[in-house]
Structure 1
Amino acid sequence: MNRPNPPIVLDPTGADHHAEHRLLRAHGAAVLVDVLGVPAWSVTDPLLLRKLLTGPDVSKDARRHWPAYDASVAAWPLALWVAVNNMFTAYGADHARLRRLVAPAFSARRVAALRPVVESLVTGLLDDLAAEPPGEIVDLRERLAHPLPIALIGHMMGVPTSRREGFRSLVDGVFDTTLTSDQATANAVRLYGLLDDLIAARRAEPGDDMTSLLIATRDEDGSTLTEAELRDTLLLVISAGYETTVNVIDQAVTSLLTHPDQLAHLRAGRSDWHDVVEETLRHEPAVKHLPLRYALTDIPLPDGRTIARGDAILASYAAANRHPDWHGPTADTFDITRPTKDHLAFGHGIHFCLGAPLARLEVATTLEQLFTRFPRLTLAVDPRDLRPLPSLISNGHQALPVLLRAR
């Protein structure tokens, strides 16, 4: 690996991620970084990143293609991100097989059937908010952005209502990059315990839910998911469908309330809620960096450096989404009328998120109902007082205090 300079140490708290992303982009298409003690190449150039995400020269299988796997993962707080056994970390034929088995759970028919469920859940949450007295400060992240996806995932997976909060707190721990290795390990053990209980319950009483479907689904050769693949696939569905959706709702509401000109475009019919969703995904994606990928061969960089075979690669989606070579001098501007809102928020290539249509449905439905129900919605604090989540991965706020109506 070419290491003329020490790696840039990424802030585990994500305190000023925009400044950090500008620093990364200033070092070219890719730069060596320290990810909680693990060296990796942060790729911020969108052209290079898309090439790596679609080419055969990069893998997500740490066990097969990361020489530092055994030494790095033992005491790494992000071990779960690379050690799981599902399509998130699979490569080649293994990935294709797992994706075939999981894809039916996210078919267009199943997503369409969830629309009334999403609408009903959002309406119920807004009914609860409407009962608050005028002038009451409400945390929208806690009261709306959080409960919606966890309730929907619980519905989809057959998780009893009494167990959903337990899943929520443990998935929060997966994205918290301030945990120690021991804390992260303990969190993973508890989370797997809940998943094992869910699998056992659905085996005993199968239903019309995703867990039962994944247990029963067979591939072309008659094979099913192994026990490890099943529990890690459920973990992937919960993690990808929960925290990310929370963050997009959070960031979309924040962006509209801090950009009244953009809200005016909506109300004048110059844009729609899907424009808001896509621009939010570009401007403030739910995931800033996604660990990890691995080079299967030497990969030359435009400036003459080389990502060596076996090196770890960090997909820095948020930095790439705002790259001026992609979106010009206004890349840092939130503009829902932007003609091209292309982004990498859902990944790219063979690992593109299967749940993207459902996430878009959830966020658009929430925003439309929220701003229709509460047209005088405002932030209750100065935007500069909104505190980011303590994470170099997850991109949201610790709280989103608002006034639903004027005092």
Structure 2
Amino acid sequence: MSSLPPRHHCPYALDGSAADIHGEAAALRTMGPATQVELPGGVAAWSVTDPDLVRRLLVHPHVSMDAHQHWPAYLNGDLPADWPLQIWVDIRTVQTAYGPDHRRLRRPLVPAFTARRVRALASRIAETAAAVLDDVAEVAATAPDGVVDLRTHFASRLPWLMVTALLGLPEAMHDDFQRINDTVFATDLTAEQAAANTAEATRLLGSLIAVKTERPGDDVTSALVDAHRTGLLGEQELADSLWMMMGAGYGTTAGLLDHAVVNLLTHPAQLDLAMSGRVGWDQVVEETLRHQAPVANFFLRFLTEDLYDEATGLTFARGDALVINYAAVGRDPGVHGPDAHVFDITRPTAREHLAFGYGSHYCLGAELARLEGRIALPALFSRYPGLAFAVAPDRLTPLPSLIFNGHRELPVRLDRTSNRWT
């Protein structure tokens, strides 16, 4: 450990700007299956990078996601008053609940994500993808030098339209909600910026709830409003559940599509394998999820009791906070071999990832995200076979988020002949 730069000593200070998620994950992996880290704001936690340890912790009865019950630093007021990540422990959703509360909060969401309901969305995804790709062509036709940001106009646009359709979000609210969604998950915000975003999100959610209370429909928002009316959800749980649905259903799939595009454009031989049908698009999706986990780090879990992990020899103390480092887990050499850092859609272990979690907190929308990827990616590359970057790929800028893994922009041209990058 002494040969590493100072930032790599325990506790390792996580970079809130997320400038190099995988470099950070690789460094943490060298320190052991779990390493003490310092979160933005100087808050102590463990970063868990070993896949087997992650599985054990995610199903352990002494591991909670509820800071309101099980994080002494939160309960005792030991966190900085201006902690920029406060929203991640304040919210009350299925993602932050424990035991009976988790089951209660999950119940009204399950009907929207049954296998039958998800399969029935295939035609709508295809229609939406076609419309989005029409818009991409229109933007490119009027843009300087024909450059279009594929992050904004494809990778983000499709999942946003799908999640807002599921939620029944009125079109007049789309832009405001998307703007806040695109900023609230950043982990390099000042305390003032984070507080302003939280206040704006609260206002917008109040407006949406009022609309759906007055005019309910066949959508997830109306189902959650009804669950609140019958006493199943509290007022904060209702608003926070809606916010969670938007962020999780939008940001994760946007990251999946974003990184799939980047990896396929920078690996043209693999793109050819997929386009020719020699490798299925389901395999492309799974390898992307493994290689670039859309949620790089999941905040936070807490120990309800002291826990000794016999396999690793690590002891976690009651009240310790855990960050699950899915970026590191997906590239574990013990599972995927010494070339785990390489994108390879023929990889036999591609499906052996934890990108959607594990156990009772496995992502409800996992199959919907996969379906969007399997439909949207071949639609994109079939429509625009000359697609190419408008900048060198190493100039792409990552999102400033330790949570969502993606890029700020994906500038491309639709005609490869006008571009020297492949």
Question: Shorter-chain-normalised TM-score: which range?
Answer: over 0.9
Q: What is the CA deviation profile of residues 12-49 of structure 1, one whole-angstrom value per residue up to 9, with x for unaligned ones? A: 11112221111100001100001111110000000001
> What's the counterpart of residue 104 of structure 1?
111
Q: What is the CA deviation profile of residues 63-118 of structure 1, one whole-angstrom value per residue up to 9, with x for unaligned ones? A: 11110013226421111111111111100111112112221122223323322221
1:224 CA displacement = 2.2
Distance across 2 between alignment mates of 1:391 and 1:282: 18
Q: Secondary structure at the match of 1:243?
A: helix
TM-score (norm 2): 0.91
8 A Cα contact 2:228 2:238, kept in partner? no
Q: Is residue 2:360 matched to residue 1:355?
A: no
Match of 2:97 among 86, 90, 95: 90
Q: Secondary structure at the match of 2:120?
A: helix
8 A Cα contact 2:290 2:354, kept in partner? yes
Q: Is residue 2:210 matched to residue 1:185?
A: no
1:324 CA displacement = 0.7
> What's the counterpart of residue 58 of structure 2?
53
Match of 1:196 among 206, 213, 231: 206
8 A Cα contact 1:57 1:297, kept in partner? yes
Q: Which residue identity is paired with 2:43?
A: V
Match of 1:41 among 39, 43, 46: 46
Q: Is 253-262 or 141-150 further displaced after alignment?
A: 141-150
Question: Cα distance 1:169–1:157, how it changes in 2: closer, same or farther (>3 A)?
Answer: same
Q: Which residue identity is paired with 1:125?
A: V
Q: Secondary structure at the match of 1:329?
A: coil
TM-score (norm 1): 0.94
Q: Which residue identity is paired with 2:305?
A: T
Q: Is 277-286 or 222-231 further displaced after alignment?
A: 222-231
Q: Is residue 2:387 matched to residue 1:377?
A: yes
Q: Is residue 2:283 matched to residue 1:278?
A: no
Q: Which residue identity is paired with 1:48?
A: L
Distance across 1 between alignment mates of 2:69 and 2:104: 17
8 A Cα contact 1:389 1:396, kept in partner? yes
Q: What is the CA deviation profile of residues 158-204 of structure 1, one whole-angstrom value per residue up to 9, with x for unaligned ones? A: 21112111111111222111111221111011111111111110110
Q: Is residue 2:300 matched to residue 1:292?
A: yes
Q: Secondary structure at the match of 1:101?
A: coil
Q: Is residue 2:343 matched to residue 1:343?
A: no
Match of 2:73 among 44, 68, 77: 68
Structure 2: give runs of 5+ residues left out of the alignment: 1-8
> What's the counterpart of residue 136 of structure 1?
146
Q: Which residue identity is paired with 1:317?
A: Y
**Percentage of identical aligned residues:** 48
Q: How many residues align?
A: 401
Q: Which residue identity is paired with 1:238?
A: M
Distance across 1 between alignment mates of 2:161 and 2:300: 29
8 A Cα contact 1:105 1:213, kept in partner? no
8 A Cα contact 2:228 2:235, kept in partner? no
Structure 1: give runs of 5+ residues left out of the alignment: none
Written as runs of structure 1 = structure 2, the 5 A alignment for 1:133-172 is 133=141, 136-172=146-182
8 A Cα contact 1:158 1:210, kept in partner? yes
Q: Is 11-20 or 249-258 further displaced after alignment?
A: 11-20
Match of 2:28 among 24, 29, 43: 24
Distance across 1 between alignment mates of 2:226 and 2:80: 32
8 A Cα contact 1:101 1:218, kept in partner? no
Question: Cα distance 1:303–1:285, how it changes in 2: closer, same or farther (>3 A)?
Answer: closer
1:143 CA displacement = 1.1
Distance across 1 between alignment mates of 2:215 and 2:312: 58
Q: What is the CA deviation profile of residues 118-173 of structure 1, one whole-angstrom value per residue up to 9, with x for unaligned ones? A: 11111111112234349611110011112212222222212111211111111122
Q: Is 296-305 or 395-404 further displaced after alignment?
A: 296-305
> What's the counterpart of residue 312 of structure 1?
321
